[in-house]
Amino acid sequence: MDKLKILFLCTGNSCRSQMAEGWARHLKSDSIEPYSAGIETHGLNQNAVRVMAEAGVDISAQRSKHVDEFRDLRFDYVITVCDHASKHCPLFPGESTVVHRGFDDPPLLAKDAPNENAALNHYRRVRDEIRDFVQTLPESLKKMEKTT
């Protein structure tokens, strides 16, 4: 069986989409060929790197990529992981199916945290929610197509 090519798309490709790509590589490398990109590039969020490492997944070698880098690549699915990207998702050539599964924005949630651990707890919660979602792939994609 061929692996599904899945692009996780977010606004800046710095946090949520990077975590999703990391989880997919870690948990689903037998069935998914994961990518991540943004409609902008904001660099790799070091708090996302840190909390992923706590969970045993190293995303430190990943980099923030603009969706245009993948213009010539055909994806089976494009999964938008933030509301902004969902509303501004570019058109993809070919037969890509676009679905949305939004997650909270850890940097936004963490900006008013009283201390570093409280800030990182936002990242940890979203990291775990993304892991739980990725564990349902690719089976859950057909259901998602019907709701988006």
DSSP assignment string, 39-60: SS-----HHHHHHHHHTT---T
Catalytic residue, chosen from 39, 57, 79, 82, is 82
- CB atoms inside a 10 Å sphere around CB 93: 10
32-38 and 77-80: which strand pairing? unpaired
Q: Rounded to two decimals, what is the model's pTM?
A: 0.92
Q: Is residue 146 situated within a structural domain?
A: no
Catalytic residue, chosen from 6, 7, 9, 10, is 10
Question: Which CATH number covers residue 17?
Answer: 3.40.50.2300
Q: Is residue 42 situated within a structural domain?
A: yes
> Based on the structure, what is the number of domains in the chain?
1
Q: Across residues 32-50, what is the average pLDDT? A: 95
Q: Is residue 51 situated within a structural domain?
A: yes
Predicted local distance difference test score (pLDDT) of residue 37: 95
Q: Is residue 131 situated within a structural domain?
A: yes
Q: Is residue 104 situated within a structural domain?
A: yes
- Is residue 10 annotated as part of the catalytic site, yes or no? yes
Predicted local distance difference test score (pLDDT) of residue 144: 77
Q: Convert the pLDDT of each residue in 80-136 to its tens digit.
A: 998 876 676 666 656 789 999 999 999 999 999 999 999 999 999 999 999 999 999
Contact between residue 89 and residue 19 where contact means Cβ atoms under 8 Å apart: no
Predicted local distance difference test score (pLDDT) of residue 95: 75
Q: Is residue 147 situated within a structural domain?
A: no
Q: Is residue 85 situated within a structural domain?
A: yes
Give the structural domain span for 49.
Answer: 4-141
Contact between residue 124 and residue 109 where contact means Cβ atoms under 8 Å apart: no
